[in-house]
Structure 1
Amino acid sequence: MKIKEIIVVEGRDDTARIKLAVDADTIETNGSAIDDHVIDQIRLAQKTRGVIILTDPDFPGEKIRKTISEAVPGCKHAFLPKHLAKPKNKRGIGVEHASVESIRACLENVHEEMEAQPSDISAEDLIHAGLIGGPAAKCRRERLGDLLKIGYTNGKQLQKRLQMFQIKKSDFMSALDTVMREEQNE
């Protein structure tokens, strides 16, 4: 599988794993303290070939994603679910631990960042669905993010991400229905 865009990852272990999964070029941020030189590389990549951001599904990874998105508008985003980024017998979480199949799957479900448009998914919808507040909210948001391929977000960021990726209410409701059915079957 050949990827036209340049994939932005956190480090060389991520690059090595990506190259096992797909034929692609990468830019490494080398952690969350992204210097101006790396941002300039990403800007150039975005202008010439396009960029896909694929960071670890953890707090530092989300921080890197946000930093790049703010500095380089229009990037595409690939999200790896947390459970697919855990090592078998070690602690930690990251792209470098994901299977080749998981990496390919998340790169096949890339979302293009767009200016947030008014959404028909309201904050009230999120509260009513138990995605904001309540004992199961975090688990529901995590599963919803996996199903919609938009990654995990906290309660404050969920509506913004749904808008940014222009998730349709019908897709949201379908994914939410799946989450609720899975909860009932547990």
Structure 2
Amino acid sequence: MKIKEIIVVEGKDDTVAIKRAVDADTIETNGSAVNQEVLDRIKHAQEIRGVIVFTDPDYPGERIRKIVSHAVPGCKHAFLPKNEAIAKSGKGLGVEHATPAAIRKALDEVKQEIEEFNSEIEFDELVDAGLIGGSKAKERREKLGVLLNIGYTNGKQLYKRLQMFQISKESFGKAIAEVLQGEKHSE
């Protein structure tokens, strides 16, 4: 599988994992202290071939994703569920621990960032669905992020990602119904 876009990853081990899974070029941010030189390379890559941001499903990975997204509008994003990114030893979380199949799946389901989009989904609907506030909100957002392939988010980020990736009201409704149905079966 050949990837046209350049994939932005955190480090060398991520590049090795990506290259095991697909034929692609990468730019490494070298951790969460993304400097201007790296951002300039990513901007250039976006202009020439396009960019896919593929960071770890953790706080530093999300921080890098935000920095790159802010500096380079219009990026595509690939998300890896946490359970697909855990090291076999159980100590470590990241793209470098994912199987080639999990990496290919994440890249198959890449999401395009849209700058100006008015979502059909209202913030109040997230509250009503129990995704913001309440004892099960975090767990529900985690499951929803996997189903919609937008990664884990807090409540505010969820609303922004639903807009940024143009998640339709229909797709959102189906996914939240599946999340809530899963809760009923586990009770």
TM-score range normalised by the length of the shorter chain: over 0.9
Could you tell me how far 1:90 is from its partner in structure 2? 3.1
**The 10-residue stretch of structure 1 (115-124 or 93-102) with the greater mean CA deviation from structure 2:** 115-124
- Per-residue displacement from partner, 1:21-62 (whole Å, max 9, x unpaired)? 000000000000011111111011000000000000000000
Equivalent position SS for 1:185: helix
Contact 1:141 1:152 in 2 (8 A): yes
Equivalent position SS for 2:66: helix
The one-letter code of the counterpart of 1:28 is: E
Q: Map 1:166-181; keep pairs closer than 5 Å.
A: 166-181=166-181
1:83 and 1:133 map into 2 onto residues whose CA distance is 24
Q: Does 1:6 align with 2:6?
A: yes
Q: Map 1:91-110; keep pairs closer than 5 Å.
A: 91-110=91-110
Partner of 1:138: 138
**The 10-residue stretch of structure 1 (135-144 or 113-122) with the greater mean CA deviation from structure 2:** 113-122
Could you tell me how far 1:115 is from its partner in structure 2? 1.3
Partner of 2:82: 82
Over the matched positions of the two proteins, sequence identity in percent amounts to: 62
The one-letter code of the counterpart of 1:122 is: E
Partner of 2:157: 157
The one-letter code of the counterpart of 1:170 is: E
Contact 1:56 1:62 in 2 (8 A): yes
Contact 1:6 1:24 in 2 (8 A): yes
| Structure 2 spans left out of the alignment, 5+ residues | none
Figure out how many residues of one structure are paired with residues of the other and give that number: 186
**The 10-residue stretch of structure 1 (81-90 or 144-153) with the greater mean CA deviation from structure 2:** 81-90
Partner of 1:126: 126
The one-letter code of the counterpart of 1:154 is: N
TM (norm. structure 2) is: 0.98
Equivalent position SS for 1:88: coil
1:35 and 1:123 map into 2 onto residues whose CA distance is 34
**The 10-residue stretch of structure 1 (110-119 or 156-165) with the greater mean CA deviation from structure 2:** 110-119
Equivalent position SS for 2:57: coil
Partner of 2:29: 29
Contact 2:76 2:110 in 1 (8 A): yes
Q: Does 1:58 align with 2:58?
A: yes
1:4 and 1:105 map into 2 onto residues whose CA distance is 16
The one-letter code of the counterpart of 1:39 is: L
Equivalent position SS for 2:13: helix
Equivalent position SS for 1:79: coil
2:174 and 2:116 map into 1 onto residues whose CA distance is 21
TM (norm. structure 1) is: 0.98
2:88 and 2:183 map into 1 onto residues whose CA distance is 25
